[in-house]
Amino acid sequence: MGGNVLGSAFDLRSGQLMMAALLLMVGSFYAGTLFGNKAPIYVPQPLSGSNSTSSSSSVYSSGLSAFPNKVELTYRKAPLVIPESGMDVCPLTFNEYIPCHDVNYVKELLPTLDLSRREELERHCPPPEKRLFCLVPPPEGYKIPIRWPLSRDYVWRTNVNHTRLAEVKGGQNWVHEFNQLWWFPGGGTHFKHGATEYIQRLGNMTTNEAGDLRSAGVVQVLDIGCGVASFSAYLLPLDIQTMSFAPKDGHENQIQFALERGIGAMIAAIATKQLPYPSSSFEMVHCSRCRVDWHENDGILLKEVNRLLRPNGYFVYSAPPAYKTVKEFPMIWDKLVNLTGAMCWKLIAKKVQTAIWIKQNDQLCLQRNVEEKLLNPCETTDESKPSWNVPLRNCISLSSSEAGSEKLPPRPERLSVYSKSLSKLGFSQEEFASDTVFWQEQVQRYWEFMKINEAEIRNVMDMNAVLGGFAAALNTFPVWVMNIVPISTNNTLSAIYDRGLVGTYHDWCEPFSTYPRTYDLLHANNLLAYYNNSGEGCLLEDIILEMDRILRPEGFIIIRDEESTIQRIRDIAPKFLWEVESHMLENKEKKLENVLVCRKKFWAIA
């Protein structure tokens, strides 16, 4: 559905759209510092039947800038060797390559997967020899992304040139086409008149008409099947942080749209494994037409929601079984009522196509339901282990000392919370306070080194977040931060969530679950040397290649590590088409160390 065919509710916005689009198109020519209008440098693409020399000659003679890297489909081989001409560039058809969500590789695995539980939507990483070992190119016509906050509503069409969502979801106001732009009116399947009204309705339902979601105690939300993440975008004025995810499925490129808008999201699916987030981390789990069969398999997926919810957290369910009385919907609703009742959840509101339950912190109720064989109790587990590649558990924890049971303040006060889980890991309150001050100082220096203003960075990843101090120091910046806790390090992710921040577990021996070109800044503090001698797939070149894949053109990488690792990166970075500067900063021990500030060049295939 085109941008000029909108409902009456958006008539005013239509005029605003046209004006903003006009300003964008004019501004893209005259305000490069605001929208970005730099032309890329080019790598010549070999013509069929021609040699690379003649192709290169034609590019140079046209007056275009060029570089020596070659376009060639290259797979990883041991031992790893980077060509003298630099890293090969993958052909243009691989511009959306996501190694662990590669459709062709998943097809090979289909006979071994449980399709009834949608296992094919989860991560499936190919072995190293089946991974590409070349730089992923941008699509034809790619532009430097529009900057936040304008990007919430408008992105360049050429950057995510897929029309299916606009065609099938235009009537629900997910996204509309408008000339060179995609426009996101803020709608969704269950809030086609805008997320703002829907969010206020949820606030009314959770507070008995007395307040909003913030006054209901909601600080962190997990949005399952998030679409283009408009729900998350419109929670930001309430200072509510959202971890949004959706699978790479028929809703074409929904996560790519979300990230291009500057809204935090990742590719994931709730199917057969635990989600990569700590227990008791969210005050709300949201499902708006998320296409999850919660009632199947004895409610095992609802039990995963129970694991992730903090005590007295909310499960919001906006889907046909909550309001339709035809077909199989009443049967599904009855199952949901029984399953949630067995977990001692209480249905607190049901109206306008939405039902909301609260996870009561009622150990007596849970014990009684276990005795009555209504649910299975979980065996005691080691909470220090990350939920990474862990099968779902068809049981409920009866522990009365859940990690999320302590009363936490709202944001921004929550940023200063010293989590009880840290003392178990050996981090003292003094170390926590010192870490917070350290990163506040470092962030100021980083921006000086990058020589940019705050508005030029939006999507940030801290690849080894530890205590989340880097993200906390960025709280007043117009950014969001994906905090990564590597699975083989101290499991501090619960403490990061207790600070009101969001993030995920990850193993950097594998590619991350995101589209290419999704982050403006990657921060790698004492990460790369940690993976020395970790085997195939974990070599420095592997991780650098993955960093390049997920980084936007003209994006930054800040690296602090052992001096030998810093030197190796300085040597190979130009072959990845990175510019490199070295700076000296004091570390936590007050000793000077090298800090690399790398910047990915804006290049494209000619």
Proportion of the chain above pLDDT 90, given as a percent: 78
Q: In what order do the strands lie in the sheet with 176-178?
A: 154-156, 181-183, 176-178
Q: Would you state the pLDDT for residue 605?
A: 94
- The 8-class DSSP code of residue 485 comes to E
Quick check: 6 pLDDT over 70?
no
Helix or strand run (H / E) with residue 585: strand 578-586
List, for residues 95-111, the tens digit of each pLDDT value.
999 999 999 999 999 99
- For position 405, what pLDDT does the model report? 60
Percent of the chain past pLDDT 70, that is, above it, reads: 88
Is the separation of the CB atoms in 33 and 10 below 8 Å? Answer: no
Average confidence (pLDDT) over 65-78 = 89
Could you tell me if 242 and 152 are in contact, meaning their C-beta atoms sit under 8 angstroms apart? no
What number is the average pLDDT over the span 358-379? 95
The answer on pLDDT for 163 being more than 60 is yes
DSSP string, 210-267: S--TTTTT--EEEEET-TT-HHHHTTGGGT-EEEEEE-SSSSTTHHHHHHHHT--EEE
Q: Characterize 479-492 residue by residue with b for buried, 16 or more Cβ atoms within 10 angstroms of its Cβ, and e for exposed.
A: bbbbbbbbbebebb
Task: Tell me if 411 sits within 8 A of 502, measured CB to CB.
Answer: no
**What is the rounded distance in angstroms from the CA atom of residue 342 to the CA atom of residue 163?**
43
pLDDT band at residue 547 using 50, 70 and 90 as cut-offs: very high
| pLDDT at res. 24 | 52
- How far is 532 from 445, CA to CA, in rounded Å? 28
3-state secondary structure of 600: strand
pLDDT at 222: 98
What pLDDT, in 10s, does the model give residues 22-33?
555 445 444 444
252/72: higher pLDDT:
72
The tens digit of pLDDT for each residue in 477-512 reads: 999 999 999 999 999 999 999 999 999 999 999 999
Per-residue confidence (pLDDT) for residue 564, from 0 to 100: 96
Instruction: Name the more confident of 388 and 33.
Output: 388
- Written as one string, the DSSP assignment of 328-362 is THHHHHHHHHHHHHHTTEEEEEEETTEEEEEE---
Question: Which two structure tokens, joined as six digits, stand for 223?
Answer: 């949005």
Q: Over the chain, what is the mean pLDDT?
A: 89
Each residue's pLDDT tens digit, 176-224: 888 899 999 888 777 877 899 999 999 999 999 999 999 999 999 999 9
C-alpha to C-alpha distances, 452 to 187, 445, 448, nearest whole angstrom: 33, 12, 7
pLDDT band for position 312 (50/70/90)? very high
SS3 316: strand
Task: Label the pairing between strands 41-43 and 603-605.
Answer: parallel
Confidence of residue 403 (pLDDT cuts 50, 70, 90): very low
pLDDT per position as a tens digit, 322-356:
999 999 999 999 999 999 999 999 999 999 999 99
Evaluate whether 600 touches 574 at the Cβ level (below 8 Å).
no
Q: Is the pLDDT score of 37 beyond 70?
A: no
- pLDDT (tens digit, 9 = 90+) per residue, 264-310? 999 999 999 999 999 999 999 999 999 999 999 999 999 999 999 99
**pLDDT band of 4, cuts 50, 70, 90:** very low
Band the pLDDT of 34: cuts 50, 70, 90.
very low
H helices of 393-483, where? Answer: 420-424, 429-450, 469-473
What pLDDT is recorded for position 48? 52
Give CA separation, 504 vs 251, 409, 461, 497, in Å.
23, 22, 11, 10
